Every structure is written in C-alpha cells, then in structure tokens.
C-alpha cells in the first residue's frame, strides 16, 4: 500500500526552529525538503523525510511511535501504520547508510519509538521569514537534556554545545534457549567534547537469570560486553533490558530485547 500524505509534517514542526539542519556529513534543507551529503542530493521525500525532521527536532530524545502516528498519519485513514512506519524508517536508514543493529544515526527503542543519537546544528531562520515561524525573543528553558542549547546574548542567538554521551546496545534483540547464555555489547560515545568515564548497570533481566557485567568505570569512548545467563528455571518470554550509563548527575539509557525459550 502506498504512503499516505501527512496531515502535519515533521518538517513543519522543526522548520519553526531552523531552516537547515546539519549532522555529520549530511545537511537537511527543511524549506526545500532536501537531504544532501557532501553537497550531493540524496533521494529522500515524503514520510521518510518527515520522520527524519521529527527526529531532528528532538536530538537525543525518544520520539514515540504514537507521536509519529499522530503527526504523519491521518486519524481517519485506514492503513497498516506499523508497516508504513517500518517502511519509512527503512528508507531513511538506507538514505543515511545506517544500520539498525549498529546505528550511527537512528536508534530503535523496541516497541517504544526512535531516537536520533548524533548531535545536530541548525541555522536560525532569516529575518524575512513570516512572524509566526520566527523564534521567540524570550529564552525558553527545556527540562529534558538536549545536545545544543539556545542562549540569547542581546539580539544574537547562539548555540552552546552541551557535553553529553550517547549509549547504544547491540544487537537490538536476541533469542536464547534455556539454559544457555547470550551477550550484548554496550557502546558509549562522547558528544561535544565529553571526557571521563561512566558506570554501567543493567536491569530488566528475566526472572531467575543472571547478568554478568564487569565492574569498574568504562572510559568514554568505549565498549563493554555483558552476558545474560539462563537456567532451566528461567522464566520464558520476551523482556526489555535497560542499560544505564552514569557519570555524576548525567545519566543516559539504551534498551534491547531478549526472548527466552
């Protein structure tokens, strides 16, 4: 089934903040609806581009599947939303050269949503832009963390980088048969010059299973493997494992699924 035109595009949402958004070697022109890499136009349009715009609007934050459905699919349209969203995400990853198992840009949060995991920069809209799209003259405080904060100095708006970390778990899902064991790799990457180390923790493991994770701080950037050991009495089913990386007051999480048979 073909893609359904969005009722409110993600690009319309983010365009209120920036005209152009850059990440890595990519640049998105939200007015023109174009994605470029190194100046070369990449074919991406429709819902995949709108999904990208919504993710770029909240870098480092989860955008839920429900939010994507409300923004990009009309409530009175009868379509297979799950299929449509998965198709849009796959096309977006193909355009970015991304990988679901080892994401560099778009991280999947199983059954919950997606997160853009690299920092972004954006240009402020020009003065001749319509008033309703111009950024507010008053600074706004956002409680949840962002990779870049807007700071107003007189009449000039500048972006101030916030030191942060990105956490990912690979693979995104595994299946294990009792009483065997299986392993995942946690990768912690610095954002905006973060230096130091983090402590790792894993929660959500199946009942009557054991998590094996090396103790001690993990230098950033760095990776560490943890193992889930099952027994013949481990509860069958699918669970969501949550990995938490902590450095002082900074805490970031990533998830993966585990199915025990």
Q: How does pLDDT run across 48-105, given as a tens digit for each residue?
A: 998 998 888 888 889 998 888 888 776 555 457 778 888 889 999 999 999 988 888 9
pTM over 0.85: no
For the stretch 92-145, pLDDT in tens is: 999 999 998 888 899 999 889 999 998 888 754 444 444 444 444 444 434 444
Question: Is residue 44 within 8 Å of residue 95, measured between CB atoms?
Answer: yes
Tokens of 258: 């585990």
d(CA 24, CA 38): 10
Domain coordinates in residue numbering, the chain? 10-116, 165-260
Angle at 158 between CA 152 and CA 159, to 5 degrees: 115
Fold of 10-116: Arc Repressor Mutant, subunit A (1.10.10)
Tokens of 196: 């130091």
The count of other CB atoms within 10 Å of the CB of residue 173 is 19
d(CA 27, CA 34): 8
Is the domain defined by 165-260 classed in CATH 2.60.40.3450? yes
Cα separation values, 246 from 45, 59, 170, 197, Å: 38, 19, 19, 9
């Amino acid at each position: 089934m073909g893609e359904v035109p969005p009722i409110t595009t993600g690009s319309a949402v983010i365009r209120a903040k920036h005209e152009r958004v850059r990440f890595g070697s990519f640049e998105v022109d939200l007015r023109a609806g174009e994605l470029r890499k190194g100046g070369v136009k990449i074919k991406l349009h429709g819902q995949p581009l709108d999904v990208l715009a919504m993710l770029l609007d909240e870098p480092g934050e989860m955008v839920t599947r429900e939010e994507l459905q409300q923004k990009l699919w009309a409530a009175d349209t009868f379509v297979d939303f799950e299929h449509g969203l998965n198709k849009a995400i796959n096309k977006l990853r193909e355009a970015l050269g991304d990988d679901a198992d080892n994401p560099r840009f778009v991280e999947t949060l199983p059954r919950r949503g997606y997160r853009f995991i690299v920092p972004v920069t954006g240009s402020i809209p020009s003065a001749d832009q319509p008033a309703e799209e111009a950024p507010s003259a008053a600074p706004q405080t956002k409680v949840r963390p962002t990779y870049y904060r807007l700071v107003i100095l007189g009449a000039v708006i500048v972006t101030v980088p916030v030191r942060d970390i990105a956490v990912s778990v690979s693979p995104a899902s595994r299946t294990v048969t009792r009483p065997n064991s299986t392993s995942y790799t946690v990768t912690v990457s610095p954002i905006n010059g973060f230096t130091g180390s983090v402590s790792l923790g894993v929660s959500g493991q199946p009942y009557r299973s054991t998590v094996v994770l090396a103790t001690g701080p993990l230098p950033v950037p760095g990776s560490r493997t943890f193992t889930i050991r099952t027994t013949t009495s481990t509860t069958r089913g699918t669970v969501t494992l949550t990995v938490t990386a902590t450095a002082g007051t900074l805490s970031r999480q990533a998830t993966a699924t585990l199915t025990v048979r």
